[in-house]
Amino acid sequence: MAYSKRISGRKFDELREIKAEVGVIPRADGSARFQIGKTIALAAVYGPKALFPKFLQKSDTGTLRCYYNMMSFSGSGERVRPGPSRRSKEISYITQNALLPVLDLKEYPSAVVEIYVELLQTDAGTRCAGITAAAMALADAGFPMRDLVSAISVGFVEGKLLVDIDNEEEHYEKGNTDIPIAMMPRTGEITLLQMDGFASKEELKEALKAAKAACMQINKAQIEALKARYKK
C-alpha cells in the first residue's frame, strides 16, 4: 500500500510547530533557542575575540568556529554518548559552512567567532534546527549579515514528498530519502544541500521548491523573534 498519510497526521507540506526566541543566554554575545516539533536547539555566540594559538590567525579576516553537540539525554531512544563524535564534528563543519556565506569577517582580522549549538531534545532535523538557531544568535550578537539562514529537512517516503521529516519518517522501515537544506530566504541562495538516499533530478527540483516555501515560514519566525527581543 502506498504511503498515503503521514504517521503524525500532518499534511505532506506541513511543518511541525515552531518556536523561536533570542537573547536566552545573558552572558553570551548573542544567543537563540529554536524549536521545531520536539527538536530543540540552543545556540550561543562568543566573540569576536583574539584567536590563539597565533599561528592560526588570519591577518586579512576573522575565523568562524562552530561546535555542535547533542546532550546525553536529548535522544528519543538510547542515551547519547557524551563528548565529541565523528557525527558531531561533521555537523559542526556543515554548520560553519552553511553560515559563512552570510558573514563578512574581514572587519575582525586575527579574531575568532565561536558558535556553540546544543541539542536539548531531538526528533530528527537536528542539523537544520541548529543552523537556524545559530543564524538567529549571530543576528542577536549584532553581526552584519547578508541575510539570515533558515534550514529544513525535506524528503521522500514511498515516492511522496514530505516537508520537515520527523524521527519516525527518518527511520521508516521501507526506507526514505532525507534532504537537509539551508538557504538565504531573501535571495534563495542555498548554503547547505545534502542527501541521504536517492532522488531523480525532477524530484530534487520539487524538493528544493518545497524547502524554499518552508524556509520562508521559518524565516518569518526568526524575524519575529528578533523584533520581539528589541521591543523589550
Q: What is the pLDDT of residue 76?
A: 64
Q: Is the pLDDT of residue 2 over 70?
A: no
Q: What is the pLDDT of residue 82?
A: 65
Superfamily of domain 18-231: GHMP Kinase, N-terminal domain (3.30.230.70)
Cβ neighbours of 217 (radius 10 Å):
16
pLDDT band, very low/low/confident/very high, at 72 (cuts 50, 70, 90)? confident
pLDDT band, very low/low/confident/very high, at 85 (cuts 50, 70, 90)? confident
Q: Is the pLDDT of residue 1 over 70?
A: no
Q: Which CB contacts under 8 angstroms, 24+ apart, belong to 3-11?
A: 3/157, 3/158, 3/159, 3/160, 4/160, 6/162, 6/169, 7/166, 7/168, 7/169, 8/166, 8/168, 10/164
pLDDT band, very low/low/confident/very high, at 20 (cuts 50, 70, 90)? very high
Dihedral of alpha carbons 116, 149, 196, 94, sign: negative
Q: Is the pLDDT of residue 79 over 80?
A: no
